[in-house]
Structure 1
């Protein structure tokens, strides 16, 4: 059965169409000398519209009856007597991020104007969509998504992004900055007799400094979708925004060089530190099964030698590297790593992303593999999500060509998030460079 809200919106549209047909028929009847054929056509159009409304009305009432029957059929708690009040049925979990999709669609239909978006939401039966929102926020260049909606979107974004899907530590940065000591060496413990001094106990620390970096992206949305108010459209708009944001986030969280305005990715966190010598490793020449397993073991050993449990680490690699390891066979024709088909390698999860390139190196044929323990990865998040809409702006497509939203009948959605990434313990990342494995 279709979503009951979609059915109600369809009934409302049918009622409006029937009203328009009735007005047209009345206008013809009031005209002197109106042709019989025109009157007959107008009457037929009205009858058709009325039949469409009757059908939509029946569907809504049927859906409401089903909903009421489910509530009436709810079973009482075990052990409750016949006179005990009946328990209400458990509420169906609301699909996360769907309100965000509805907000984007409605704002886009309103050309980014919050006041107009409220009117559109009212007319489509979603009067609470923009309740209690600051009317002037849109004029300031963006609409700050409410905290409850923003948290749902970020929660959906995390599994869509390779880095946050690993389960790093997520910490808030209310002021946009955070400085935390980075553990460099462990405490000193030892044994001794009753009168001896205890060893000096303390840590040697570096510092991890996070400052909110602004990630922004533009998502073109077809205006054909904007004209259709339905749950499926809200879902599509939401999914497009999350997919694009996750890709941009991974691009910098993995391989960002690190600037005043962009995060330093996991690949470059070790560069320029003592950990680079032990944890940035070059692929062993040869590429046979023995050297491949040896290189994977070297990465695990780099973590283990720094007292990082490699059993809880995750692999991150390009599609080419993943496909090579999936298809690799030993001398007897057996799959060397059959667990790759289940997304595991040496009993650790594998994350595959195109944000790890396969065209690195002087010859343009190399890739890299990362082994990361997410417990030592920290992602700081500042504020929520800000969105802005325009049907007049221009944007560059994937090939760098300038496109006009107006001429393409699109609305552009700009989404802004602020966050940063750091490592509490630098040797929690191992990198294998110059990987030329390929089928």
Structure 2
């Protein structure tokens, strides 16, 4: 599907160009700097080249379509009938085709020809052809690179399941695996001037942010009984298992990963040290309210856009705030029960631990403008499987063969970065638990 890859690349180039203009617009609607203009012009040249290639591909496809012969149904006795109009294909639920590809490859132990036959028997010729056209991944031995169309469909489904994505982090196409853009390291200042008085210079500092694809591997065990079933209900169940496996990994990395050459940085590592605030020693309604105010104020005073703000906390912390009462016995934060705090949505996840610190009872609470967090997605997912592999199930090593399971390995590539690092802050040493008030 060359034309699909070209369009994905074009989307990534245009997104990078748009970010250059957006950066200038948020810095007082200024003109592009000379360096930004050069970078913007280079992106436009690249986009023009991609559009030319896409045009050629579309021209070839159009000519191919013009040579297709209509299907003619012959009536008994040789009387010809008219051509049969094409019926519109039924719209499949999101992620269905991706899951069918994974199930077919898993059912046939990664034998592509057998998997294509398996898919055709269960779901028809179209699915069989799609499985047959999967490319062998050059990066992963024994894995198949799922077509970007179906990979992107699968990645889109992760948004409501991954706390960081659900709170508004921006997903940027990164089809070539690398993306470089400017980010803001210090805000702007402006002032009023009199007639014939030079305008004040804006106090803007910008840096460069580079993202390069890091590899995430998720192992998802699926019973062989499910893999051999063809119903839409089973496909959706397997799809949800695959999504959950990736979502848990992404949450853990996007929030707390220290980052290195092979792992993206999480929020805790991306924000400045000065934005990490220690919780008060006492736990009272007064100190809790003050700590939450400090967290919000740290972000607000940084002059960030406040476009998509939200909280990240553990179930324990959320339950504490939900049940905290004032001196009259009234619930102090009634909106927490509906998933909000001070009007901002709460992202609750166990990917933030409750066992940090010397005493093993500390946690963290995050607040920020998630529109300033970028996730560069290559929009390519590789599938591999094994019915003899072993996997770690919460500290217990289990055998797929003994349990009549197949372990599906999903490999996705992405990286993280911030347009404005001070858009995030966190409370550390949080020991709040229900019953502490």
- Quick check: TM above 0.5? yes
Aligned to 2:427: 432
Q: Does 1:385 align with 2:386?
A: no
Q: Render the CA deviation track for 1:202-231: whole Å, top value 9, x for unaligned.
A: 621123221111001111111111222211
Aligned to 1:258: 259
- Deviation, 1:396, is 2.5
- Deviation, 1:199, is 2.2
Aligned-residue CA RMSD (Å): 2.2
2:409 and 2:378 map into 1 onto residues whose CA distance is: 18
2:155–2:379: 8 Å Cα contact kept in structure 1? no
2:119 and 2:88 map into 1 onto residues whose CA distance is: 28
Aligned to 1:121: 119
2:133 and 2:120 map into 1 onto residues whose CA distance is: 17
> Which residues in structure 2 correspond to 1:228-243 (within 5 Å)?
228-243=229-244
- Deviation, 1:310, is 5.1
Relative to the length of structure 1, the TM-score reads 0.75
- Deviation, 1:182, is 1.8
1:99 and 1:312 map into 2 onto residues whose CA distance is: 32
Aligned to 1:195: 196
Please list every run of at least 4 consecutive aligned residues from structure 1 whose deviation after the TM superposition is greater than 6 angstroms. Answer: 88-92
1:215 and 1:117 map into 2 onto residues whose CA distance is: 25
Decide which of 337, 343, 350 is 1:341's aligned counterpart: 337
Aligned to 2:179: 178
Q: Between Structure 1 and Structure 2, how many residues are aligned?
A: 346
1:115–1:135: 8 Å Cα contact kept in structure 2? no
1:294 and 1:136 map into 2 onto residues whose CA distance is: 55
Decide which of 402, 407, 414 is 2:409's aligned counterpart: 414
User: Which secondary structure state, in structure 1, belongs to the residue aligned with residue 159 of structure 2?
Assistant: helix
Aligned to 2:93: 95
2:164–2:251: 8 Å Cα contact kept in structure 1? yes
- Deviation, 1:407, is 2.3
Q: Does 1:245 align with 2:249?
A: no
Aligned to 2:82: none
- Deviation, 1:125, is 4.0
Q: Does 1:290 align with 2:289?
A: no
With over 3 angstroms needed to count, the CA separation of the structure-2 counterparts of 1:176 and 1:125, relative to structure 1, is closer
1:138–1:388: 8 Å Cα contact kept in structure 2? no
1:101–1:236: 8 Å Cα contact kept in structure 2? no
With over 3 angstroms needed to count, the CA separation of the structure-2 counterparts of 1:396 and 1:303, relative to structure 1, is same
- Deviation, 1:89, is 12
1:333 and 1:234 map into 2 onto residues whose CA distance is: 49
1:160 and 1:217 map into 2 onto residues whose CA distance is: 15
- Deviation, 1:383, is 4.0
2:326 and 2:194 map into 1 onto residues whose CA distance is: 57
2:174 and 2:423 map into 1 onto residues whose CA distance is: 23
Aligned to 2:273: 276
Relative to the length of structure 2, the TM-score reads 0.75
User: Which secondary structure state, in structure 2, belongs to the residue aligned with residue 128 of structure 1?
Assistant: helix
User: Which secondary structure state, in structure 2, belongs to the residue aligned with residue 415 of structure 1?
Assistant: strand
